[in-house]
A and B are shown apart, each in its own frame.
Chain A
Amino acid sequence: CYFINPTFSLSAMALTQVSSNKCAGGFQKVFEHESTELKCKMKFAVYLPPKAETDKCPVMYWLSGLTCTEQNFITKAGSQLAAAEHGIIIVAPDTSPRGCNIEGEDENWDFGTGAGFYVNATQDPWKTNYRMYAYVTEELPKLINANFPTDPDRMSVSGHSMGGHGALICALKNPGKYKAVSAFAPICNPMQCPWGQKAFAGYLGSDRSTWEAYDATVLAASYSGPQLNILIDQGQDDQFLSASQLLPDNLIAVCSEKKIPVVFRLQPGYDHSYFFMYSFMNDHIKHHAKYLNA
């Protein structure tokens, strides 16, 4: 009793290093662990800036989009130099449970594997494993804080597309927990777009009122808490923008009504790809550093 004992068991928190590469003066590592929330092995990527060798650093959680794994972000987004410069640890989890042998989990690219949508599923057969919201907001931060030189009080969240939706709801549902939030081409109003309707109906059931708890536009309308400074970049030539999958206008309308500051930048000529993200990643990391290192 002379120390605070960890309240969770150590065996469940064991990490296995999958890879480690020196990168931008620090290390880009991938670990695997047995997730208690998702009841399966999960991988996540963690970038440790050089500063982590001597100091405790803040953490930015990156949530990737549909079909992605922990690999896409660390290989394509070009975040490490900026993270090294600002002394930020970046943790990028996978986008869904994998290999759970649920019927139909691999049938669609926009539902099931690679499309967890960062919700806690309530419907069979998904509800046992598809608890990505709990995973990214609870289990993963605990795991990271217990195993890496982090400052648990300083965390932020960002993401792309479905991950952008994830980042927004994480911040809107947990006032004060994340010091900053940003998104690239987020799905802003999933209840109103085909992707969201499909996923929510599958994971949450047909009762649309249960969907509201995971819809950034609905959540923003009832947000109260410390001021959120949201940065959103959106490519103008994004095919999913014109397909009405992203609906940023709806979110911005609510935010301006609620006086939630949003910097929304419509970037001419850019599409939905990692090339677009790569182009503005420095801005986003700087945005996070401003609040994380304040």
Chain B
Amino acid sequence: MSDSEDMTEFASIVERIERGEVPIKNIERELICPICKELFTHPLILPCQHSVCHKCVRELLMINHEDSFDAGSECSLPGSPRSRVPSPSMERLDRLVRSGSISSPGWRRGSVTPRVTTIPCPGCQHDIDLGERGISMLFRNFTLESIVERYRQAARAAVAIMCNICKPPQQQEATKSCMDCKASYCNECFKLHHPWGTPKAQHEYVGPTTNFRPKVLMCPEHEMEKVNMYCEVCKRPVCHLCKLGGSHANHKVTSMSSAYKILKEKLAKSIHYLISKEDQVRTQITELEQLINQTEENGQLAERRANEHFERLFETLQERKSEMLRSIEQSRNRRLDQLKGQVEEYQGMLENSGLVGYAQEVLKETDQSCFVQTAKQLHVRIQKATESLRTFHPAADPCFDEFVLDTSREETLLKEMCFGGVPDPPLIDLSNSRVYNEASICWRLSDDHLPTDHHVLEYRRLGGPRESPSQEDGEDNGVWRATDRVYGPSTVVSDLEPDSRYSFRVRSCRNSMFSPYSPEVNFHTPPAPAFGFLFSDKCGFSTERLILNKRRDSVESVAGMAFLLAAERVQTGSYIGLDYIIGDTGISQGRHYWAFKVEPYSYMVKVGVASDTKLLEWFHNPRDTSSPRYDHDSGHDSGSEDACYELSQPFTLLTLGMGKLFIPKASSSSSVSTANAASGDPGSRMLPMPQRLGVCLDYEACRVYFYDADTMRCLYERQVDCSGTMYPAFGLMGSGKVQLEEFIATKRLTF
């Protein structure tokens, strides 16, 4: 059943080849033996799944065989298997082949002497150990053979296969080939030779072929058994004896039919996928070709550049060499001159020569005035000579220590010379980078320690505001824009679109060589311009329980001395109040966004906005707000109280605490953008506390939005009564801390 399917599949492949869907010359490369570089003849499947011609494996084995014998073994004895096995006649091969594997008696005899069974696979270079049975272990790749056969035929422009039965000149073209008869027939002859009611009616037949393969694949290890299972471990067909007690006893096997089905489906799927992606493959081939060109050009360029660098180095070295040698030479000459002069001078002091001789002659002068005239000057000279004799001092130092050249450092440098021209890419530091309508991007430099000249940050917009995707499809979408040169590890990018995703990348430059780009990182800009403020120290918060830092950008809730003192008397419990603090800047129009971090250890923190009109009285009467009755998010409220109570609330707040964030119960004035949070079930209203929280107030729309500031996902939004000035508001209970985010410090942000 499967054979005919196979054949129809081959037929369809051939048909496609003929239709030009699969260019035939391109299939050829798959049908070529990696050793002989010719179309496969009797290919065998190596354990690594590569196929090689039978004769090529044999030769390969032979070469390795002889190699090992050349290394000195007893094999040159006559009658040993070393005597070259002549190429088996086709008849013999045919016989071997019928068994589905190659097992020649000659080869089995060979196993008497240990023989080489390991060959390198020409396909993948892995060493293949064929084991004791050697080549006879290998399956013949009949499928490949059939394809090669079909390919040969197609290549031969389909030389017709003639009916083997009818005689010329009436010989017909064959329409079927019977795998049992191993003959090809025309329609008439096939019917005649396979009459119904005889066993021949059950013969297997395929389209006309000259390639008659055996009907059943037999196990190479157990020649009487047909293979009927597939070993998942060894990736080869095995028989039940292999599984029962053979070499595959403990291996996972599947039935041949399921292995067939699975592999066939996989292959068909993959092929269809590939064929459907032909355009893509072509594009990629074009790209690869471009890459080849680039590689060639860049390679040559790099070579040329390296050469230039070395030439320059050689020149410098040559220059230095001649300069230094010259200075040595000069020094040597100068000193030699000096020393030689001194030698002459001293020789003058010897009797009968020079000064002494001359002096002796002068002593002979008898005329007093003449003597004095000459001798005075001579005496000075003699005295000097005597002096120099006493204090012998060579005129020059023979030591050339100052010319000793220590090149060990340079040598080390030279030896360490490498392609360090291109700096490693920097890495954008997510934890220190912030993106609002302006982005502050920090990056870490690579570890190669060499100084870089400057960096260039590039950024592009990935997507527009979610609400109005059509608003901005202008040219700034998706195009990389670069900053000017940056000489530090961070920079600020201005004028980013709100509520958009931006991608950032950075690269370093050294000696006009750019590093590769850093990995891209994406940031989502907030839906509104950043609103800068600090905590107000004048709003009347409880300085006893809230500690502001000096910069006023963080507030911490503590027990407070008074509370601790009071707690001395407390034995059964006490009530901690909510303490409120607001921003020092209010909002009376427009959309604004701010972000902050609530420490995860915080007991309970409420964040949101507050209206100034009602604020004062609340601060004047803080106890009221601390009752859980008034805390509309605490879960204590009843529905009836809710409606009228909310209107009078100066605060619109979200509750966080103990690493959690709580989405308020849905009410008429609020809506929740997350799908899971609408129900009244408190479990589903609880989210993990985001690392950073963002709040956006749209004054005109009277709406406040709460975001996970890292992902810019809106967690919750609700109506807010915007009257008067609205302030960022925070309430803390128990220990806790809120840290305002430092907004990007450009001049435009003035508080």
Q: Is the CB of A3 within 8 A of B201?
A: no
B226 proximity list for chain A (CB < 8 A): 4
- Complex interface: stretch among A144-152, A203-211, A275-283: A144-152
Looking at the complex, which one of A2, A10, A13, A48 makes contact with B98 (CB distance below 8 Å)?
A2
Q: Is the CB of B196 within 8 A of A1?
A: no
Q: Is the CB of B199 within 8 A of A48?
A: no
Looking at the complex, which one of A2, A13, A53 makes contact with B191 (CB distance below 8 Å)?
A53
B215 proximity list for chain A (CB < 8 A): 3-4
List 13 A–B pairs whose Cβ atoms lie within 8 Å, in order of A's numbering: A1-B224, A2-B98, A2-B214, A3-B214, A3-B216, A29-B197, A46-B196, A56-B1, A146-B199, A147-B197, A147-B198, A147-B199, A148-B197
A59 → B minimal CB distance (Å): 12
A141 → B minimal CB distance (Å): 13
Q: Is the CB of A17 within 8 A of B197?
A: yes
A240 within 8 A of B: no
Looking at the complex, which one of A2, A27, A31, A150 makes contact with B218 (CB distance below 8 Å)?
A2
Q: Which of A1-33 contact B (CB under 8 A)?
A: 1-4, 6, 10, 13, 15, 17, 27, 29, 31
Contact string, B1-38, partner A, CB cutoff 8 A, digits 1/0? 10000000000000000000000000000000000000
Q: Which of B184-231 contact A (CB under 8 A)?
A: 191, 196-199, 201-202, 214-216, 218, 223-224, 226
B500 within 8 A of A: no
Closest to A52 in B: B196
B197 → A minimal CB distance (Å): 4
CA distance A1 to B224 in the complex (A): 6
A129 → B minimal CB distance (Å): 24
| Residue of B197, B218, B223, B224 with most chain A CB atoms under a 10 A cut-off | B197
CA distance A74 to B138 in the complex (A): 53
CA distance A4 to B180 in the complex (A): 11
Task: Give the contact-size bracket for chain A.
Answer: 20 to 34
A124 within 8 A of B: no
Q: Is the CB of A31 within 8 A of B197?
A: yes
CA distance A7 to B180 in the complex (A): 17
A153 within 8 A of B: yes
Q: Is the CB of B218 within 8 A of A1?
A: yes
Q: Is the CB of B202 within 8 A of A148?
A: yes
Closest to B204 in A: A56
Known A1-B224, A10-B199; judge A151-B216 contact (CB<8 A).
Answer: no
CA distance A10 to B202 in the complex (A): 14
B220 → A minimal CB distance (Å): 13
B141 within 8 A of A: no
CA distance A3 to B216 in the complex (A): 6
B172 within 8 A of A: no
| Residue of A27, A46, A149 with most chain B CB atoms under a 10 A cut-off | A149
10 nearest A-B pairs in the assembled complex, by CB-CB distance: A15-B197, A2-B98, A148-B201, A146-B199, A149-B201, A1-B224, A147-B197, A31-B197, A17-B197, A147-B201
Closest to B202 in A: A146
CA distance A146 to B180 in the complex (A): 13
B100 proximity list for chain A (CB < 8 A): 2
Q: Is the CB of A153 within 8 A of B223?
A: no
Q: Which of A132-152 contact B (CB under 8 A)?
A: 145-151
What total of A-B pairs shows CB separation below 8 Å? 51
Binding site for A on B (CB under 8 A): 1, 98-100, 180, 191, 196-199, 201-202, 214-216, 218, 223-224, 226
A203 → B minimal CB distance (Å): 31
CA distance A282 to B560 in the complex (A): 96
B191 proximity list for chain A (CB < 8 A): 53
Supply 11 further A-B pairs (C-beta < 8 A) apart from A2-B218, A27-B196, A146-B202: A2-B99, A2-B216, A3-B215, A3-B216, A4-B226, A46-B196, A48-B196, A147-B201, A148-B201, A150-B202, A151-B1
A15 proximity list for chain B (CB < 8 A): 197-198
CA distance A236 to B224 in the complex (A): 58
A13 proximity list for chain B (CB < 8 A): 199
Q: Is the CB of A1 within 8 A of B223?
A: yes
Looking at the complex, which one of B196, B218, B223 makes contact with A147 (CB distance below 8 Å)?
B196
A293 → B minimal CB distance (Å): 13
B230 → A minimal CB distance (Å): 19
CA distance A13 to B198 in the complex (A): 9
| Residue of B100, B224, B226 with most chain A CB atoms under a 10 A cut-off | B226
A52 proximity list for chain B (CB < 8 A): 196
Closest to A145 in B: B202
Q: Which of A236-278 contact B (CB under 8 A)?
A: none
Closest to B100 in A: A2
Q: Is the CB of A153 within 8 A of B1?
A: yes
B223 proximity list for chain A (CB < 8 A): 1
A140 → B minimal CB distance (Å): 14
CA distance A145 to B198 in the complex (A): 10
A48 proximity list for chain B (CB < 8 A): 196
CA distance A153 to B214 in the complex (A): 21
CA distance A10 to B198 in the complex (A): 10
Closest to A149 in B: B201
Contact string, A50-74, partner B, CB cutoff 8 A, digits 1/0? 0011001000000000000000000
CA distance A19 to B37 in the complex (A): 59
A148 proximity list for chain B (CB < 8 A): 196-197, 201-202
B1 proximity list for chain A (CB < 8 A): 56, 151, 153
B99 proximity list for chain A (CB < 8 A): 1-2
CA distance A69 to B198 in the complex (A): 23
B218 proximity list for chain A (CB < 8 A): 1-2
Q: Is the CB of A6 within 8 A of B98?
A: no
A112 → B minimal CB distance (Å): 29
CA distance A149 to B178 in the complex (A): 13
A76 → B minimal CB distance (Å): 23
CA distance A13 to B201 in the complex (A): 13
CA distance A17 to B99 in the complex (A): 36
Q: Which of A92-130 contact B (CB under 8 A)?
A: none
A153 proximity list for chain B (CB < 8 A): 1
B311 → A minimal CB distance (Å): 73
Q: Is the CB of A4 within 8 A of B199?
A: no
A2 proximity list for chain B (CB < 8 A): 98-100, 214, 216, 218
A146 → B minimal CB distance (Å): 5
Closest to B97 in A: A2
Q: Is the CB of A149 within 8 A of B214?
A: no
